[in-house]
Structure 1
Amino acid sequence: MRIKSLLFFLWIWVIVSCNQSEEEIYLQSVDQYGKSINQTTSTSDKFDQNNAVENSEIKDCGDPVVYELIAGQNIDVGEITVTNDDTKIYITYETSGDWWLTETHLFVGEKSDLPVTQSGNPKIGHFPYHGEHGHVQSVQFTVDINNNWSANHNGELCIIISMHASVVSKNSEGIIKQSETAFGKGELAIEFNGSRWGWYHNFCLNTCDYNDENESNSSSENGNDGSGHNTNEPGGGGDLTHFGFIKNDIKDCFSFQELNQLNWGWANQFDYNSLIDPQSQEYPIYIQIEDNCSENSLIEVGKVSLTILGSNTEYPELEMKYTLMTNYKMKGLEVYVGWINPISNGALTNSITFQKMSLDTNSYSFKKGIIDWPGIRTEGEAPKFYVISKVSI
């Protein structure tokens, strides 16, 4: 009798433990500050892939698909933009207002590899792309397109994408008011089968068509693209990287080592009050800045407009809108903005850090909440702040 009772309680314990482990997997993935899981788990496919393919968002190559970033099931806290070129997929998380990213988790791949529990709940902590962030409002992932992904019956390369984030809302003193888990949600979102809320999407990659003859000409040794343009010159489409900077009237020149050479750029000072919305100021982006910031050979490649948004609210922020000329593309962006002068004796101070983004676009909007600017605004003086905008082109 005792043995039967013991076996009965053991059976009950196994059932409870299994349910508990599934619960813990979900909760750990939502609130795992200080902990990272670097492995991917494959699970059985319990979903109808054909149904997912019907719920597809199809765009031209490079055009974005925009998803809402929904926290707590019904709070709009920002958006997620997804696009691709012929080799990579770009996923950009952006929060708005007083919402900030603390963690991001991303799955991109075939349906059979989507990490879910036996009951269909998402195993967020096992999503292969993830990061922990010190309260930022923009994060981008770059994912290589896998040649082994299967095409559907229409010849489209369609994969599953699920986008999760942990977000917080902060007051003007930077104190956290609210913490939530969030998912990207599009018009054709598919709910997970389990009891936990969240969505995934079928994403059909944009097709990139290139002219084979032009490709052949552009790869010739003389660097000519077949149209008379030298691909080794700025904007010609070659692999040579140029660094672009904006230049204000009040500026400091500084040097930096990159790409095995000495480069030059500007740190700019701005008047906060002169940029308060609806006012804004526009500045050119220059490349080919020579020794000691000589301006003899400058080439203008685009514009940046600066605006202070929400100056009469608790959470004002600086918005910088980048627009390049049609024959240029931004490969990357590094931005410093703060009350602290980042330059000392022609060099960057040790305390300065840049927010860095990988891009592949002609236009981009960067925002940074003023409560996250380093340094303290000097009382009794006209507020001045500093910006370094380094664009890789």
Structure 2
Amino acid sequence: MTKTKNILLLTAVFVVFTFAFSGITYADENNSTRILYAGQAINVGTVTISNDTTHLYVTYETTGNWTILETHLGVANYSNSLPINNGGNIAPGQFEYKNDSIPAGTSTYEYVIPLETYLPAENNTLYIVAHAVVSDGNSEEGAWANGTKINENSWATYFTYITSKTDDENDVDEEDPEDLNISINKTAEFNDVNNDGAQQGENITYYFVVENTGNVNLTNVNVTDQMFTPSEIEAPNGFTGILLPGENVTYSINYTLTQTDIEAGWVNNTATTAGISPKGTIVTDTDTMDFEIPVEEDGGITEEEDPEDLKININKTAEFNDGNNDAYAQEGENITYYFAVENTGNINLTNVNVTDQMFTPSEIEAPNGFTGILLPGENVTYTINYTLTQTDIEAGWVNNTATTAGISPMGTIVTNTDTVNFEIPVKEDTGTETTQEKDKDSSKSGGFGGSSGSASYSKEVTTTEDDNNRFFSASDIAEENETVMSIPDSIPELIQQEPVTSEHTVLRSILWYIIWLLLSAICVMSGYGLTQP
């Protein structure tokens, strides 16, 4: 009796052990449920597998306070095709099906997988690896659906699932084209940041609404657009690329407007969506949109530009920077030029710039932050320094012309110029006046030689001719005449002054000398004589 009880007890223990560690809590030809273990021993939920004629369904579900943060699922139709790395372990991050960004608080997550992808299978058996990252609000744990260990050094597990249909039963009738339908509806919305119509740098948001309008599931659903690269248009968060009949999903992406777009007034592009049926048929749909860019009437696009609307003005001024504060310019000091440019027209101008004959284009830089765009009434001021040369200072002037230019939305170039003749503050050169050394006693009143009635000269009259063609010196004439004419003291003084650098003074001395000669001739003709020094 005791032996029988022991046998029954061992049998019960074996059954419980087998049930607990086989990992199959419920199984039939259509459904299999596995316990999801966290930390190798904590039961946090289940992983349920089922299938119909076209799809395999794998559902993660947690219990209690546990929620799902990530899922990783591997499926193979042969045992040797499991996702095992070179080290002999399974790497969840390399699984074909995965989602690393499941919204917080999720307790159920399902994968829908085309069954034909894994058929025919070895004995209609699929090899499945189900992994998850779960949280109870305090900690995060990795979890595996229980099954057979990959190897003794890893607690990663896999299990098998026998499909409920044979290969022959999975062969369905050919797909009805009427059952294969997908649609895309593309819309656009302009984001007016400054509420004044479209400007370069603002953007358009495109929305692509994709719907499975057929009667069969579609996988690998995606959207492409000629204006974007495939990688730029991402699937919505959590979307796995599968659309069941009647389901829809919305993609969105922003497009940044260029000046070319604004000048054209339109953005034209075509979007395409595609999906794959269970039999591998690709179904597509397209939608083209001509989006009209909202441009204000005075902001650019007109049928024909009025020349009265195209105006730009430049006002050029100059300021001398007196480095040593002596009020005069020296070589090496500089002039600061200011170029005030204003859009005095009624439409936007782009590529606004300033050039000057005295500088290279690269030397005149745009003010910090200026993009080259001037709206009507806006202005901007450029500045640049010019270093004075000795040639400039000797000339006394710096003359140069500045030009500003801009381009209208229709491509018309509008210009304006301004010329400045800048007078350089130069110290006047009065010259250095030199005179002959006067007689030491010339400071006395009355003139030269100390005599108030007569004067002596360092320069004597050479000769005088009489009626008989004889020549007499001034001294000879004086000897023959008893009366001597006295010459005013001021005349010899002026004559005796040495030549100076001033042109005016030299001419004056010559004039007085000529007068003295005339007076001498008159004296000779009148019978008067000149005293000799």
The alignment's TM-score, normalised by the length of structure 2, stands at: 0.27
Query: Greater Rg, structure 1 or structure 2?
Result: 2
Higher relative contact order at CA 8 Å, sep ≥6: structure 1 or structure 2? 1
Which is richer in strand?
1
The alignment's TM-score, normalised by the length of structure 1, stands at: 0.36
Which is richer in helix?
2
